[in-house]
């Protein structure tokens, strides 16, 4: 008889909180796990792995539930949820923090801000630290401080045998390399992460809105400016569908507002904006602004349901060169004929410190990209799912001559050569690491890194 037992908080079908406990951020997927195990300690995680192995039960690992394709859940199996492992300890002497891998971004930023520090993570308040970090992680501090993985010092995980493995530059360096961009769900269950932390207080924020009539000059000016401007400034631009008819640039700058006014001049000259706002704000207010948080949304606990969860299909690509006029024309054409007014494209400036590493230094390979493109579609009624999904997939395909590659954190199971698009030259090395640490391929899902074939 197996001695393995599930420990921690267990939710099963029929429990009053089962429906909230099983909900993924992308409600396009409606999955019914057999057991949801909210682990509260590393021991709970080891027990869950042991139990799943002994019973031969399929499982998935989950933190913030933001997997685009809902690969942190499954029908009929075990969900190992680590969102309740969220201790935060800041060591001011070493400028480091040990973070429970189950932390969600907004509560984490808020807690770190109380200590006068932060990490350069993503914008969405309820994204999980683990999924975000393992895939690379970018946000509004990416150009001054790099990808989130560039501040990662150490990772602790539970492996396929239920053992605790620590990986850093000295110990299990191959696993540490793979954990910086290889993506969640591949090597083990991460339970804690150590980061360098960045002192933070006030920042300057930027918000500019243009009318749709300025489409070409604004897109052209933004892409020629955002990846090349002062690297203390990180900018994104939301290009909305024609029915909404706006382009909105946002930025975060670690210098003064006076300098920021000077830096944005090329954008302001490109086409007369409808509105410009430049402010100096406490860092945590900038976090709320970029996270689109309404007052009262500060209480994020996914087990109580995410107020922003909705059905969607997103995908993305990277631009290593500026989009030529033909690329901008395709973008405009798709956004002019979008099946939903809520569809949009978001460009995120990269380069700066994120571009200072070589593509092979970490598993995140897209170091030479100038900016990423995120193609976004969402809908209200199930009947609109197909037309919107097709629209977004077609848009990515049409722009492939100008923007390719895939970000492992923007999972898209319609991309046929997903692994190559995600990892390029790093794929063989990732397969080697996978084969070493998870030879039986216990950690798997449709887009996971495979183990090498036995000779
Ligand atoms: C609304 C929204 C906003 C986003 N904003 C950004 C952004 O600003 N910047 C950015 O870079 N990305 C962004 N993303 C993408 C995001 O980084 C990925 O979806 C990420 O994988 C989510 O992690 P999670 O823990 O929330 O999700 P989950 O669905 O819980 O997990 C995602 C993947 O990681 C695995 N995983 C989760 N926890 C662990 C763990 N502890 N150990 C090992 N594997 C684990 C899961 O099995 C799954 O495969 C956004 C996504 C959404 C939906």
Q: Which CATH number fits the domain that encloses residue 36?
A: 3.30.43.10
In a domain, 414, yes or no: no
Range of the domain at 19: 9-81
Structural domain total, the chain: 3
Distance 333 CA to ligand 1 centre (A): 31
How far is the centre of ligand 1, averaged over its atoms, from the C-alpha of 128 (Å)? 6
Q: Are residues 37 and 75 in the same domain?
A: yes
Of 406, 418, 404, 410, the residue nearest 447 (C-alpha): 418
| Pairing assessment for the beta strands 246-253 and 202-211 based on DSSP bridges | antiparallel
Inside any domain, residue 4: no
Pocket test for ligand 1, best of 45, 49, 60, 66 (most atoms within 8 A of CB): 66
Average pLDDT over residues 80-91: 97
In a domain, 2, yes or no: no
Whether residue 66 sits in one domain with residue 138: no
- Average of pLDDT values for 70-80? 98
pLDDT surpasses 80 at 420? yes
Residues 210 and 175 in one domain: no
Looking at the fold, whether 166 and 106 belong to one and the same domain comes out as yes
Helix axes 283-290, 105-114, angle to 10 degrees: 170
Whether the Cβ atoms of residue 156 and residue 190 lie closer than 8 Å to each other: yes
| 276 class by beta-carbon count within 10 Å (0-12 exposed, 13-18 middle, 19+ buried) | middle
Boundary (domain end) residue, out of 36, 52, 81: 81
Q: Which atom of ligand 1 is nearest to the CA of 64?
A: 26
User: Is residue 283 located within the same domain as residue 237?
Assistant: yes
Percent of the chain residues topping a pLDDT of 70? 96
For residues 103 and 390, give the distance between their C-alpha atoms in angstroms, rounded to a whole number.
Answer: 34
Closest Cα to atom 13 of ligand 1: 122
21-30, 76-85, 302-311: range with lowest mean pLDDT: 302-311
| One domain for residues 354 and 385 | yes
Closest ligand 1 atom to 157 CA: 42
Whether 454 is in a domain gets the answer: no
pLDDT of 1 higher than 60: no
95 shares its domain with 156: yes
The owner of tokens 């933070």 is 200
What pTM does this model have? 0.96
316 ligand 1 Cβ < 6 A = no
Is residue 451 in a domain? no
pLDDT band at 307 (very low <50, low <70, confident <90, very high): confident
Q: What is the mean pLDDT of the chain?
A: 96
Q: What is the mean pLDDT of residues 319-348?
A: 98
- pLDDT 10s digits, 42-62: 999 999 999 999 999 999 999
Parallel, antiparallel, or unpaired for β 96-100 and 88-91?
antiparallel
The whole-number average pLDDT for the span 198-204 is: 97
Ligand 1 centroid to 273 CA: how many Å? 34
Based on the domain organization, do 152 and 249 belong to the same domain? no
CA–CA gap between residue 45 and residue 189 (Å, rounded):
8
Predicted pLDDT of residue 294: 67
Residue nearest to atom 6 of ligand 1 (CA): 122
In whole angstroms, give the CA distance from residue 253 to residue 323: 25
The predicted pLDDT at position 303 comes to 54
More confident residue, 311 or 306: 311
Q: Are residues 192 and 228 located together in one domain of the fold?
A: no
Which residues neighbour 226 within 8 Å (Cβ) at sequence distance 6 or greater? 235, 237, 347, 349, 371
Of 152, 409, 437, 443, best ligand 1 pocket probe by most atoms within 8 Å of the beta carbon: 409
């Amino acid at each position: 008889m197996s001695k393995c037992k599930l420990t921690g908080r267990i939710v099963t079908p029929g429990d009053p909180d089962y429906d909230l406990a099983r909900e993924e951020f992308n409600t396009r997927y409606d999955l019914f796990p057999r057991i949801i195990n909210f682990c509260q300690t590393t021991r709970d995680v080891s027990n869950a792995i042991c139990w799943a192995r002994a019973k031969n039960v399929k499982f998935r690992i989950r933190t913030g539930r933001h997997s685009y394709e809902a690969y942190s859940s499954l029908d009929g199996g075990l969900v190992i949820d680590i969102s309740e492992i969220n201790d935060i300890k800041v060591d001011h002497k070493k400028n480091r923090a040990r973070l429970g891998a189950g932390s969600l971004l907004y509560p984490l930023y808020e807690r770190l801000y109380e200590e006068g520090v932060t990490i350069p993570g993503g914008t969405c308040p309820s994204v999980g630290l683990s999924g975000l970090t393992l895939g690379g992680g970018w946000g509004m501090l990416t150009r001054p401080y790099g990808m989130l993985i560039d501040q990662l010092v150490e990772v602790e995980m539970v492996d396929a045998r239920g053992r605790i493995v620590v990986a850093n530059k000295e110990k299990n360096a191959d696993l540490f390399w793979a954990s910086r961009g290889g993506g969640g769900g591949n090597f083990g269950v991460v339970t804690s992460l150590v980061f360098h932390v960045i002192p933070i207080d006030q920042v300057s924020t930027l918000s500019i809105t243009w009318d749709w009539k300025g489409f070409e000059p604004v897109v052209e000016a933004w892409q020629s400016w955002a990846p090349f401007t002062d690297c203390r400034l990180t900018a994104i631009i939301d290009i909305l569908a024609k029915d909404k008819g706006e382009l909105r640039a946002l930025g975060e700058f670690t210098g003064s507002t006076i300098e920021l006014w000077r830096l944005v001049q090329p954008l302001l000259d490109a086409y007369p904006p409808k509105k410009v706002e430049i402010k100096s704000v406490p860092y945590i207010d900038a976090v709320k602004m970029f996270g689109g948080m309404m007052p009262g949304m500060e209480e994020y606990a996914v087990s109580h349901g995410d107020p922003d969860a909705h059905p969607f299909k997103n995908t993305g690509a990277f631009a290593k060169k500026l989009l030529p006029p033909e690329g901008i024309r395709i973008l405009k054409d798709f956004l002019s004929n979008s099946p939903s007014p809520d569809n949009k494209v978001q460009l995120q400036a990269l380069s700066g410190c994120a571009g200072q590493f070589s593509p092979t230094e970490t598993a995140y390979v897209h170091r030479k990209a100038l900016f990423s493109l995120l193609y976004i579609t969402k809908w209200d009624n199930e009947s609109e799912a197909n037309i919107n999904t097709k629209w977004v997939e077609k848009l990515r395909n049409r722009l492939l001559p100008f923007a390719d590659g895939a970000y492992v954190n923007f999972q898209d199971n319609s991309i046929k050569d997903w692994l190559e698009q995600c990892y390029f030259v790093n794929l063989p090395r990732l397969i080697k690491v996978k084969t070493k640490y998870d030879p039986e391929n216990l950690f798997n899902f449709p887009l996971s890194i495979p183990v090498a074939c036995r000779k």
